[in-house]
Amino acid sequence: MPGRNHLFVPGPTNVPDRILSAMHRPMEDHRSSSFPALPKGIFEDLKKVFKTEAGQAFVFPATGTGMWEAALVNTRSPGDKVLSYRYGQFSHLFIDTARRLGLDVEVIEIPWGEGAPPDQIEARLKADTRHEIKGVLVVHNETATGVTSDIKAVRQAIDAAHHPALLYVDGVSSVASLPLEVDAWGIDAAITGSQKGFMLPAGLGILCMSPRALAARDSAKCPRAFFDLGDQIRANATGYFPYTPSIPLLYGLREAIDMLFEEGLDNVYRRHHRLAEGTRRAVAAWGLSLCAKAPKWYSDTVSAIMVPAGVNGAEVIDVAYRRYNLALGAGLSEVAGKLFRIGHLGDLNELSLLGAIAGAEMAMRDVGIQVTLGSGVGAAAEYYRSTAAPLAGAASAPVAPRAATAEKGTSRVAVGA
Ligand code: PLP
């Protein structure tokens, strides 16, 4: 199909040309004397992304799933009790990983569309007077339902219960797109991957551990080999890795961090919020609702849009893909068929997102959903127009319209181009 594929799944996200170019390079010796400058700079700058001075960042050739495992095996022993909340497919898989690693996971079921409940966490931890619960596992942004949880409030709940449990946060679809503060929010393990906010292909697992989490390695008995942070700490100290790193992905990560810093992390968060809000205006104009049940849970990286009863959300996705070259996210597990998702994270702007909203609108009509064509696009466009930054250095004199110039007999060359 001519034209670009419009990739609007919530990861992998679009890889900017700058990052593609940065990764396009010959292999090099990862044990050379000049190599350490690259990882050392990345480790230091990742700490700024995670907003930590005390913590330490790690990069593995892995994915977010691998970082769930790395965070747990380096801090826990088989049979350790941890508390978790299931409110979507990714919190479910985090729980599943912990169980497969031999942890005793207490799961509290939360309706899909809601987020982590700080009051319940506080009550449960207060009841745990013997401090048997060693960790609290929370997914910051549940990509399956488009729900963002309040991690600061979760930390406050743990502190209010005067409980020593470590706080493990899955930030796979939030880090580098939504505010996440390791030090200020008392996060002990922040977990992510390369293919979302970092705008890279999948292939890097990125982890940030607090000093308390690193100290827990001393007593943690879970077997670990590839994911042993001890090997990383020793090798990373000199700018190397305990194995062959993915050199193109490291150069890509370097470029991605540079791009995030050039825009400014706060501006990156603001951009995501604004783009998400336009998408939400479109959903409201369609007369549809989000899976997220209240505004406090609305995700600025992904909108999960409920389709009317009797319609299969998978059909919207299939038509969008085959007819309009638009990739939308599917409903997963419990919400399969009930929704489709628009990923709005990473490298995107108003017009690219308006393309996705237009494609979703057309595909919905094609499968029989009675949305008015243009309604979502119009609502989002109006929001983007009315909230656009003023034009810096705009000319004070109005620019003469081209047609008017032509009428005055200016040559074709002057009005063309
Ligand atoms: N956690 C969340 C919130 C995710 O969205 C994903 C993937 O989409 C994962 C974990 C798993 O990450 P990966 O696919 O990189 O292993």
* Residue type present at position 152: K
Q: What is the pLDDT of residues 130-146, one digit of tens each?
A: 999 999 999 999 999 99
Contact 140, 301 (CB under 8 A): no
Nearest atom within ligand 1 for CA of residue 88: 3
**pLDDT score for 1:** 79
Ligand 1 neighbour 329 (Cβ under 6 A)? no
If you measure from the C-alpha of residue 86 to the centroid of ligand 1, how many angstroms do you get, rounded to a whole number? 15
Ligand 1 neighbour 11 (Cβ under 6 A)? yes
List, for the chain, all residue ranges whose pLDDT scores fall below the cut of 70: 394-417
Name the residue among 300, 306, 304 with its Cα closest to residue 276.
Answer: 300
**pLDDT score for 395:** 58
**pLDDT score for 2:** 86
C-beta pairs of 95-99 under 8 Å, 24+ apart in sequence:
95/137, 97/65, 97/68, 97/69, 97/72, 98/68, 98/72, 98/137
Nearest atom within ligand 1 for CA of residue 174: 3
**pLDDT score for 394:** 63
Q: What is the DSSP string of 223-254?
A: --STT-HHHHHHHHTTT--SS---HHHHHHHH
**pLDDT score for 365:** 98
**pLDDT score for 141:** 98
Ligand 1 neighbour 171 (Cβ under 6 A)? no
Ligand 1 neighbour 90 (Cβ under 6 A)? yes
196/77 Cα distance (integer angstroms): 31
Q: What is the DSSP letter of 114?
A: B
**pLDDT score for 414:** 37
Nearest atom within ligand 1 for CA of residue 171: 3
Contacts of 276 (CB under 8 A, 6+ apart): 298, 299, 300, 301, 303, 344
DSSP three-state, residue 391: coil
Whole-prediction pTM value?
A: 0.94
Contacts of 105 (CB under 8 A, 6+ apart): 81, 82, 83, 84, 95, 98, 99, 137
If you measure from the C-alpha of residue 65 to the centroid of ligand 1, how many angstroms do you get, rounded to a whole number? 6
Q: Please identify which residue in the block is written with the tokens 């940030």.
A: 208
Ligand 1 neighbour 174 (Cβ under 6 A)? no
Neighbours of 261 (CB within 10 A): 13
If you measure from the C-alpha of residue 408 to the centroid of ligand 1, how many angstroms do you get, rounded to a whole number? 61
**pLDDT score for 52:** 98
Mutate to test the pocket of ligand 1, among 13, 94, 173 (most ligand atoms within 8 A of CB): 173
332/318 Cα distance (integer angstroms): 15
